[in-house]
Structure 1
Amino acid sequence: MIVGMDSRDLPTQAELELTRDQALVGLDGRALRRAHQNGEKNRLSRGVYLSARVWDAADDDARYLLRVKSVVLTRQARPVLSHFSAARVWGIPILGSWPREVHLMARGGGTRGSKYGIVWHHDSLPDDEVTDIDGFLVTSRLRTLVDLARSTRFLSAVVSLDAGLSAAYRLPDGQRDRDIAKGELVEAVARLGSVRGCRGARLAAGFADGLSGSPGESASRANIFLSGFPAPLLQVSYPRIEGGEDIVDFTWEARHHVRRVPVLGEFDGKVKYTRNEYTHGLPIEEIVWREKVREDRLRAPGRGMVRWLWDVALNPVALRARLINAGLRPER
């Protein structure tokens, strides 16, 4: 499986086969269409095909980026990617799977209908809100965050905005990009005025926090808020007696707990136990044991602790029950 494929890893134009290129050498697109019908090739967009072997080896992230590139290759002029498509090029996550459609910003006047796997957006787009990332023209990172805040539901918007505001944000090639302060985002959303989606965008922008450590933590935090619990402190550090520190995803101070003790909360994502950049080559048994020792160490001074996985993070009823069982009180 190809994980985290960026634009430089994508198949070349020779591997992405276009029916229009067939005509240049005296052929037509019938051979490509037959290969698609036989299951040998996948059609990514109108007139663009790719080997089924390459497609099958790609994950959801990589497949969407392949769709984006296939649409870009069919345009006569370089289009400006926006919304989900710009987010994918920037490496900004969303909640759930990527859409099938590629999102483009219409420029130069006129109205274009959305069809053939392309969604056109007709909002005003100043030149300083367009940039080049690995050969793609995309809306700026700040503009992309604003567009996502307007057009996605609260949980997904929070996941995207938290990641876009994070000081740990890196471009897909691993390079640093300038930090975006939360105040910048809030001001940019305020400038929207009364356009469609502005109320949801203001709520998401006001709630966003670059301290969230992962999409799972962001989704959890959003459902904690929607369930009426007090806002936890994020990424609190607890020194170890033997040196070093343990950093905890969520901390509720004693006044929020019926037993008058602090409560620590941890979201556990699967990648912590499966990806080599997190496991450092350790066997799963050793990772689980170290997590148990860490949890015992954090509980020892009389703190409460509650943990959950993705299924609970995305289920506000289950998360609410888990937090109440840990002794937390909803405020509303």
Structure 2
Amino acid sequence: MSVESSRPPVILVRQLHDRAETRQQHARAARSGDEVRVAHGAYVRTRDWEGTTDRERCILRLSGFAGTRKRPPVFSHWSAASLHGLPLIGAIPDRIHVTVGRTGGGRSARGVVAHSTQVHVDDIVEVDGMRCTSLLRTVVDLAATAPTADAVVLADHALRTSLSGLKAELLEAWLRAQPMRGHRRSLDVIALADGRAESPLESVSRVNMQAARLAEPDLQTPFADGNGRIGFVDFAWPSARVIGEADGEAKYLDPALRGGRTADRVVLDEKIREDRLRALGWRVVRWRWSVARDAEALGALLTAAGVPRATTPWRDCASAPRRRDTPGLQHWPRSGKLV
């Protein structure tokens, strides 16, 4: 599989053909500000560097690193997440993550984290000319190592944007990754993952609802009244007749999400929508990122609104199918072509 995208060119000293152009000249250009050094022996012209996003700069560093290796690396974890365009909470990590295989002999170095783990050939793809773990394998790896909220954001996004949206495919990627450290933690994230979540804010909210031991909500529930369709709500607890809305700023500030409306019009439309929901006998509760990140604060807000505590687990991860009893995976190979 190959996914292509565009990026500014990276100058690799090892590929210079003009003898008048030397490593020292590019080093001087970097010191003078005409170029930016993205890796040892790899440079980008400053005019190309300026105006790029943090993610684009990360990818340029990955490209520079890959271009200076004797063998093409397999990027993984946070580096693969950047290549796949997965949503990340907070700043993009500076360090480069590569997978070297159990017998690869690679070592972590300054700015580079080498993961000694096996990757099945089916879980390696090419993105923008660079090899990396597949979307689903990247989610599995980060589910085993990243904070739960970050990992669920990635897993939700993967399920929402994949062609099939089937959790079974994510589980198959998890099975191919075994044995791995953090396998139980990764399986817990897969169990909680839900492609109906439409934003990182919703994903983080759901993680902390579970942490606060609240009853599991219904996601993206449609509502209508006598005047027609009202729309979908982020969370709903029918037994308590409570609606929860994770209220990010983007819907008001991002022109691409406003659909040609002014910010004032969006606010007014939201108020009208909320009035219609309340007229149906439901209570509407809204929160922003500051509350979504805090399980105690979110739990207190929703409990005060009437959301009940959980009486049963949201998901029983222990009952997830294992290799020997998963339909279609009874003869899953214990060994195979690995990288």
- Give the TM-score normalised by structure 1: 0.84
Q: 2:183 aligns with which of 192, 198, 204?
A: 198
Structure 2 counterpart of 1:206, which letter? A
**Pairwise mapping of residues 143-158 of structure 1 onto structure 2 (< 5 A)?**
143-158=137-152
CA deviation digits over 1:51-93, x for unaligned, max 9?
3444342222222222222222222333222112222222222
Q: Which moved more, 1:210-219 or 1:241-250?
A: 241-250
- 1:41/1:314 Cα in 2 relative to 1: closer, same or farther (>3 Å)? farther
1:288 aligns with 2:273: no
Name the structure 2 match of 1:70: 64
Where structure 2 has 5 or more consecutive residues not aligned to the other structure, the ranges are 312-339
How far apart are residue 290 of structure 1 and its match?
Answer: 0.9
How far apart are residue 317 of structure 1 and its match?
Answer: 2.4
Structure 1 distance, partners of 2:305, 2:259, is 32
Structure 1 distance, partners of 2:66, 2:177, is 28
Instruction: Say which SS state the counterpart of residue 286 (structure 2) adopts.
Output: strand
User: How large is the Cα RMSD of the aligned pairs?
Assistant: 2.4
Q: 2:95 aligns with which of 80, 97, 101?
A: 101
**Pairwise mapping of residues 23-172 of structure 1 onto structure 2 (< 5 A)?**
25-107=19-101, 109-166=103-160, 169=161
- 1:282/1:180 Cα in 2 relative to 1: closer, same or farther (>3 Å)? closer
How far apart are residue 24 of structure 1 and its match?
Answer: 5.1
How far apart are residue 27 of structure 1 and its match?
Answer: 3.6
CA deviation digits over 1:226-250, x for unaligned, max 9?
1111110000000243223410000
1:239 aligns with 2:224: yes
Structure 2 distance, partners of 1:151, 1:193, is 14
**Pairwise mapping of residues 316-331 of structure 1 onto structure 2 (< 5 A)?**
316-331=295-310
The 8 Å contact of residues 190 and 202 in structure 1, kept in 2 or not, is answered as no
- 1:307/1:237 Cα in 2 relative to 1: closer, same or farther (>3 Å)? same
**Pairwise mapping of residues 224-263 of structure 1 onto structure 2 (< 5 A)?**
224-254=209-239, 257=240, 262-263=241-242
| Larger RCO (alpha carbons 8 Å, 6+ apart) | 2
Name the structure 2 match of 1:8: 5
Q: Which moved more, 1:20-29 or 1:215-224?
A: 20-29
How far apart are residue 311 of structure 1 and its match?
Answer: 1.6
Name the structure 2 match of 1:304: 283
Structure 2 distance, partners of 1:7, 1:52, is 23
Structure 2 counterpart of 1:263, which letter? V
How far apart are residue 192 of structure 1 and its match?
Answer: 5.2
CA deviation digits over 1:131-156, x for unaligned, max 9?
22332222222212211111211111
Instruction: Say which SS state the counterpart of residue 227 (structure 2) adopts.
Output: coil
The 8 Å contact of residues 7 and 89 in structure 1, kept in 2 or not, is answered as no
- Give the TM-score normalised by structure 2: 0.82
Structure 2 distance, partners of 1:69, 1:7, is 13
Instruction: Say which SS state the counterpart of residue 43 (structure 1) adopts.
Output: strand
Where structure 1 has 5 or more consecutive residues not aligned to the other structure, the ranges are 1-5, 170-176
**Pairwise mapping of residues 206-221 of structure 1 onto structure 2 (< 5 A)?**
206-221=191-206
What percent of counterpart residues are identical?
35
Name the structure 2 match of 1:270: 249
How far apart are residue 47 of structure 1 and its match?
Answer: 2.3
